[in-house]
């Protein structure tokens, strides 16, 4: 098994993708709007990925956060609120916000598990600052580490009850980035002491099954390399000070924050200590390059993967009741 998660080009596997994935044996797959049509098509696609991999628990990921970040959309699936809706409720009723976040995540889990998706790239544990890029503020749970962690925990628990693994992101924190990593490489000049605020939610949820890195340079820790490619940040901060021992994946290595070839970026991330590379855009030449640069998954990484996927149980709950509970609580604002 290669330590990489690949994207797909369309609504079904192409012949070239099928042949390549069968040979490369990637750890998992990630789906986007281009891969989603309706329930029947999506379930058939995820079934085909499980059959091809020979693993019933092969990770099949999606970014289904709510708000603008939603790959499964109306009319086939309902819209979900994003983090700021729960942050606003927390201002007046903290326990209600936590309950709403849990119900929302459980409903998300049920919706995803119904179509064979077993990993949701949620929750964001990024702590918002006054000048945080809009790419994060429209999605985050707020500017207080305690409330971010509380709603993050509720989200992970809700997803698990709905039959899905959550991914905490973007480690060790994206809140101080003033530019969007999809387009630029942010550099954070905050001191080590100031960055305690950023890592606090991740430390609180250090037992999370999966995590995702950020493509950000933190000058206090490594002036040369972004977190995704920095052994110092991964080993000393994420694994050390935060204490995270779950499966650590990169953010999408195609983002413009990182430079170099796909293979160079993938190999660099694994060498730095990431367990798995995330490559989203299904460009065959880049996927071939990545697969050629990566060896077999390390035993410690495979153990982390197995632990994470073992947290998935039988989905529980009634979707309509959970949505109604969430909406009644959010209506308090």
Confidence band (pLDDT; 50, 70, 90) for 148? very high
User: Is the model more confident about 181 or about 120?
Assistant: 120
pTM equals: 0.97
CA distance to 181, 186, 211, 214, 250, per residue, from 217 (Å): 11, 6, 18, 9, 14
CA of 92: how far to CAs of 97, 99, 137, in Å? 9, 13, 20
Q: What is the mean pLDDT of residues 229-234?
A: 98
Residue 133 has what pLDDT? 94
Ramachandran bin of 142, using left for φ above 0, alpha for ψ from -120 to 50, beta for the remaining angles: left
Candidate from 106-110, 114-118, 181-185, 296-300 with smallest mean pLDDT: 181-185
Q: Could you count the other beta carbons within 10 Å of the beta carbon of residue 167?
A: 29
Confidence at 9, pLDDT banded by 50, 70, 90 = very high
Quote the Cα angle for 169-153-141, to 5°.
Answer: 60
Per-residue pLDDT averaged across 3-31, rounded?
A: 98
Query: Which residue in 182, 184, 254, 264 is the catalytic one?
Result: 182
User: In the predicted model, what is the mean pLDDT of residues 166-192?
Assistant: 95
Which residue in 63, 222, 251, 289 is the catalytic one? 251
At 180 the pLDDT is 86
> Is 76 annotated in the active site?
no
Mean pLDDT of 183-194: 96
* pLDDT exceeds 90 at position 132: yes
Question: What average pLDDT score do residues 296-324 get?
Answer: 97
Instruction: Give the model's confidence band at 182: pLDDT under 50 very low, under 70 low, under 90 confident, else very high.
Output: very high
pLDDT at 90 over 90: yes
Residue 295, pLDDT above cutoff 90: yes
**CA 296 → CA 3, 27, 318, distances in Å?**
7, 10, 40
Query: How high is the mean pLDDT of the chain?
Result: 97
Calpha distance 252→107 (Å, rounded): 26
Domain that holds residue 165: 2-330
CATH code of the domain containing 100: 3.20.20.300
Q: Is 170 a catalytic residue?
A: no
| Number of domains, the chain | 1
- Give the whole-number percent of the chain exceeding pLDDT 70: 100
């Amino acid at each position: 098994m290669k330590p990489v998660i690949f994207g797909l080009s369309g609504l079904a596997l192409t012949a070239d993708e099928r042949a390549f994935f069968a040979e490369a044996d990637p750890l998992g797959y990630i789906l986007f709007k281009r891969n989603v049509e309706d329930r029947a098509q999506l379930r058939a696609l995820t079934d085909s990925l499980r059959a091809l991999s020979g693993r019933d628990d092969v990770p099949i990921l999606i970014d289904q956060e709510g708000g603008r970040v939603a790959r499964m959309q109306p009319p086939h699936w309902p819209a979900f609120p994003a983090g700021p809706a729960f942050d606003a409720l927390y201002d007046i009723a903290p326990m209600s916000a936590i309950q709403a976040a849990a119900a929302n995540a459980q409903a998300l889990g049920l919706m995803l598990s119904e179509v064979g998706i077993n990993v949701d790239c949620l929750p964001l544990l990024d702590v918002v600052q006054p000048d945080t890029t809009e790419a994060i503020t429209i999605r985050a749970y707020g500017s207080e580490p305690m409330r971010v962690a509380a709603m993050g925990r509720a989200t992970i628990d809700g997803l698990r009850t709905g039959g899905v693994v959550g991914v905490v992101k973007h480690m060790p924190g994206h809140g101080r980035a003033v530019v969007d990593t999809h387009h630029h490489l942010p550099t954070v000049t905050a001191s080590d002491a100031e960055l305690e605020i950023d890592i606090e939610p991740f430390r609180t949820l250090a037992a999370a099954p999966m995590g995702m890195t950020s493509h950000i340079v933190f000058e206090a820790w490594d002036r040369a390399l972004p977190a995704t490619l920095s052994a110092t940040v991964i080993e000393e901060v994420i694994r050390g000070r935060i204490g995270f021992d779950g499966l650590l994946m990169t953010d999408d290595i195609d983002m413009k924050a990182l430079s170099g070839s796909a293979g160079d970026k993938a190999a660099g991330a694994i060498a730095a200590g990431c367990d798995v590379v995330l490559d989203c855009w299904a460009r065959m030449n880049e996927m071939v390059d990545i697969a050629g640069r990566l060896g077999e998954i390390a035993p410690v990484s495979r153990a982390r993967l197995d632990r994470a996927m073992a947290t998935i149980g039988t989905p529980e709950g009634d979707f309509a009741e959970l949505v109604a509970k969430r909406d009644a609580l959010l209506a308090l604002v």
